[in-house]
Amino acid sequence: MNIPFSKKIQLWVVFRVIGFQNAILTFFNKLLFKKLKEQPKSIVIFKVGNIGDVICAIPSFIAIRKAFTGAKITLLTSSGKKGTLGARELLDGVWYLDELKVYYAEDIADIEYRKNLLKELKEKKVDLFIQIPDDWANFKILFRNLFFAKLIGAKSAFGFKVRTILNLFKKTQIDYLFEKTEVEFLLDLLRTNGIHSDKAEFIFNVTSEAEQNVKNLFKEKFGDANDNLIIGICPGGKGREKRWMPERFGAVAQYFEKNAKNDLSFLATKNKFSSHQAKFVIFGAGDYDASASEIIKKYISDNNVLNAVNKLSLIESLTMLKKCSFLLTNDTGTMHLAVAVGKPVVALFSVRNILGKWFPYGKQHKVLFHRFLDCDYKKEECAIKSLEAISVEEVINKCEELIKEIKRN
């Protein structure tokens, strides 16, 4: 991409500001904390964000555990809404964490709760505090978290790194920059601090009950559909700017249902999709996803679609995703779940922030997006416009490309 000279100057300024902010954070990190010289006995990992954020951090959690096998590791997180399981469900009982401490915004607003949390963390006699930066981790937040780590008595700490600064020439950054995926960035952050990982691993504690529930739900609808093309569809998203129109998801599903019946050559193989029957599983939770799923169902035969919206827990969702050939999805936590269980995705992104960060990790996926250099990204309408620009034909083509690759593998 050719970048105009004026834009290059703006990007140069952005990188220099980020470098300056990180230099300040590094200075205070060295001033406040000792260098880690021996294996820590107690570690606190601080990671906030949505479910997708936590999923992307799981390879980092595992890498930390493998580096410090004898330590007691506590994850402090605010992922999920109060009253829901959220991160607690995904990470309950996993071998790489000893304790999961979940707090919520409503809790932190309570002074007494804050006092008790600080007391509890101090009692752990923390040897190492690891900051896993979240999506909103600007300089101010990271600087505050440095002193939070000091306040709980941590002896050593790292992870305080500014990644982006979107309040400075935001449009230029969105137009011309492309970031590493969140998974790669976090693993690189660990590597710079001596924690190395050969690969990104995603490990969950899937219960036999969850597996049986999914097996029953799937078999009740499809029977033994092991040789079918099973397309997962996730039409939801956090906000309008992340939601491709449900009618278009329906049109894509209709195409594959129709052409699978007509025995298209790209579906015909000896061992994969040999029944020439396309089946669909719709994922999601909440009112919007429920209404979107009903629209999608109008485009395909009822006996070929399993509407799993509001029927699955997070663990059951990842179990159901294992049964799919691939997932067609917006930018959602479900997309990251599919990646975590090794399923390829066709992912649809609006342009609302710097591209790449929340793309699915790995090379087997297909991602669609459209940039508009004349768009004002401060307005929601611009992000919606970029998503609406993705056509049904483009999505069908990407799905067909992915199907061919699945066949070859």
Rounded to an integer, the average pLDDT of 184-194 is 95
pLDDT at 268 over 50: no
pLDDT at 266 over 60: no
Rounded to an integer, the average pLDDT of 141-150 is 95
pLDDT at 23 over 60: yes
Q: What is the mean pLDDT of the chain?
A: 90
CA distance 382 to 372: 8
How would residue 271 be classed by pLDDT, with cut points 50, 70 and 90? Answer: very low
At residue 85, the pLDDT reads 60
CA distance 293 to 56: 26
Q: Containing H/E element for 209? A: helix 208-222
pLDDT at 277 over 80: no
The DSSP 8-state label assigned to residue 240 in this structure reads G
55 vs 113, 195, 332, 339, CA distance in Å?
Answer: 27, 19, 11, 9
Q: Give percent of the chain with pLDDT exceeding 70.
A: 92
Residue 96 burial by Cβ neighbours in a 10 Å radius (0-12, 13-18, 19+): middle
Torsions phi, psi of 336, nearest 5? Answer: -70, -30
At residue 250, the pLDDT reads 98
CB 181 within 8 A of CB 357: yes
In order of start, what are the domains of the chain with their CATH numbers?
Answer: 5-191 (3.40.50.2000), 208-408 (3.40.50.2000)
CB 301 within 8 A of CB 261: no
CA distance 349 to 353: 10
CA distance 217 to 166: 44
Q: What is the pTM of this model?
A: 0.92
CB 313 within 8 A of CB 270: no
At residue 80, the pLDDT reads 58
Buried b (16+ CB within 10 A) or exposed e, 62-94: bbbbebbeebbbbbbbbbbeeeeebbebbbeeb
CB 51 within 8 A of CB 87: yes
pLDDT at 261 over 70: no
At residue 276, the pLDDT reads 54
At residue 103, the pLDDT reads 84
Q: Quick one: how far is CA 371 from the chain centroid?
A: 21
> pLDDT tens-digit profile of 98-132?
999 988 777 777 889 889 999 999 999 999 999 99
At residue 82, the pLDDT reads 65
Strands across the sheet containing 156-158: 99-102, 72-77, 42-46, 128-131, 156-158
For residue 198, the one-letter residue type is D
Rounded to an integer, the average pLDDT of 217-223 is 92
CA distance 320 to 401: 23
At residue 131, the pLDDT reads 97
> pLDDT tens-digit profile of 307-357?
999 999 999 999 999 999 999 999 999 999 999 999 999 999 998 878 899
> pLDDT tens-digit profile of 55-84?
999 999 999 999 999 999 999 988 656 666
pLDDT at 263 over 50: no
CB 314 within 8 A of CB 332: no
pLDDT at 265 over 70: no
At residue 107, the pLDDT reads 78
CB 148 within 8 A of CB 31: no
The span from the first CA to the last CA of the chain, in angstroms, equals: 32
At residue 127, the pLDDT reads 97
3-state secondary structure of 355: strand
CA distance 246 to 304: 17
pLDDT at 269 over 50: no
How would residue 267 be classed by pLDDT, with cut points 50, 70 and 90? Answer: very low
